[in-house]
Amino acid sequence: MPSKEDLKRRAAEIIDSKADELTAIAKTILQNPEPGFRELKTAKLVAEQFAALGMQPRSGLAVTGVRADASGTSAGPTLAILGELDSLIVSDHPHADPDTNAAHACGHHCQIAMMLGAATALTNSGVLDFLAGRIAFMAVPAEEYIEIEFRDGLRRDGKIEFLGGKPEMVRLGEFDDVHLAMMLHTTSNPAEKSMCISNTNNGTLAKRIQFIGRAAHAGGAPHLGINALNAAMMAMTAINFNRETFRDEDSIRVHPIITKGGEAVSAVPADVRMETFVRGRTLEAIMDANAKVDRALRAGAMAVGAEVKIQTIPGYMPLQQNKGMAEIFRANASELVGEENVGYVDHRGDSTDMGDISHLMPVIHPYVGGATGLGHGATYVIEDYGLAVIKGAKALAYTAIDLLADDASQGNSIAGGQRADMTISEYLKFMRDLASEETYKS
């Protein structure tokens, strides 16, 4: 019976032997960036790789998701290892698609490669013969919460219900048989070192807002107009007037953009549109800030006598990571990059739909370095694929071995030791209740 160390050594050998191939996969995806729910080429590549490993992938989950399972030799928990398929849209990114402006400015291409690396190491190596339970390799769509109008169109067409890939996969039952989930995200933040454990992330709601005024000649008859742009400006001012009531520990982030600010400079703007997120560390804090934002939006409309339509769209839940899994990952990271190169951050202000999964089961969402530049910006590029893909794949494989070897004793204890915040049906109800549309006439 090989020890966990033996199994990890075996996994590392396989990954090292496939290092060039895995890096090439990451770079192929980098060259073919596709934003969420449009990841057709990327999904096809993943399905082919899964098939090549002898698994039976299921494709087209939540539009573009792909899942392939590999079972151990005895009963045990199912561990999902996730990789995110989607890119961002950053037109001035050096690797942007010239037609769509899509670009991997958040390193998701490395996630797919490291997930495939872990799959190779665990399934094509004999390692699986010494693991209990099952591993579900999942390429998930649409983690980046962008192109809200496009996704809302998919929603209205009945192609999706939720606008993020993981919530949609949950809705479709793809997490019904999963007990533990993990993924590994790249980072460019030097404070997060070579690998990094974190604790929590903000959750978020998304809002689409339309201020409706009355158009009029801005020179000849401004007194007949109702200025929807002024309503939007006032609404943003009102939001700012509420900021002092946001608690530091709640990490509230409200950051609107105006997607339509008027049609012609010579007319009083009558149709002004805005999108915003309302992020926070806890659901309670998000809902409190959201009520203040709604009130501020109504105040903007009231200020000038306009009308406002507010659509609230469920976003992502706050992420809370399982400490036991994080500790296992930390130990493996220390072995791979040295203890002094493993960082820790308690809370991050950004959001991920891994947060949603974290309300249903134990998860981890640690970070691996290798990137430089600012996340979501034109400068975010992967410089060290050896770290971001190869060591990342090893960290995932090692952690899977720790969880599922020894008859999955650690995996079972973690899966049994954390009480889920919500059942899947409670989660779906919560998300559906969150969705709302309101028209306020002043």
Binding region for other proteins (CB under 8 A): 218, 222-223, 225, 227, 230, 233-234, 237-238, 241-242, 244-247, 268, 292, 295-296, 298-300, 302-305, 442
Give burial (CB, 10 Å; 0-12/13-18/19+) of 431: buried
- The nearer residue to other proteins, 172 or 267, going by C-beta atoms, is 267
Do 407 and 76 touch, CB atoms closer than 8 A?
yes
Do 212 and 298 touch, CB atoms closer than 8 A?
no
Q: Where are the beta strands (DSSP E) in 47-170?
A: 58-61, 65-71, 74-84, 88-89, 102-103, 132-140
Number of residues in the chain: 442
Distance, CA of 86 to CA of 29 (rounded, Å): 10
Q: How far is the CB of 299 from other proteins (least distance, A)?
A: 4
Report, in angstroms and rounded to the nearest whole number, the Rg of the chain calculated over CA atoms. 23
Q: How far is the CB of 268 from other proteins (least distance, A)?
A: 8
- The nearer residue to other proteins, 300 or 315, going by C-beta atoms, is 300
Other Cβ atoms less than 10 A from the Cβ of 92: the count is 11
Q: How far is the CB of 113 from other proteins (least distance, A)?
A: 44
Q: How far is the CB of 257 from other proteins (least distance, A)?
A: 20
Letter for the amino acid at 333? A
- The nearer residue to other proteins, 43 or 238, going by C-beta atoms, is 238
- The nearer residue to other proteins, 181 or 302, going by C-beta atoms, is 302
- Give φ, ψ of 79 to 5 degrees: -105, 125
Q: How far is the CB of 309 from other proteins (least distance, A)?
A: 17
- Give φ, ψ of 274 to 5 degrees: -140, 150
- The nearer residue to other proteins, 58 or 295, going by C-beta atoms, is 295
| Residue 319 β-bridge partners | 201
Q: How far is the CB of 303 from other proteins (least distance, A)?
A: 4
- The nearer residue to other proteins, 47 or 226, going by C-beta atoms, is 226
Pairing of strands 180-182, 65-71: unpaired
| Residue 205 β-bridge partners | 278, 314
- The nearer residue to other proteins, 56 or 240, going by C-beta atoms, is 240
Q: How far is the CB of 210 from other proteins (least distance, A)?
A: 18
Q: How far is the CB of 109 from other proteins (least distance, A)?
A: 41
Distance, CA of 328 to CA of 92 (rounded, Å): 39
- The nearer residue to other proteins, 5 or 249, going by C-beta atoms, is 249
Distance, CA of 201 to CA of 279 (rounded, Å): 10
Other Cβ atoms less than 10 A from the Cβ of 284: the count is 11
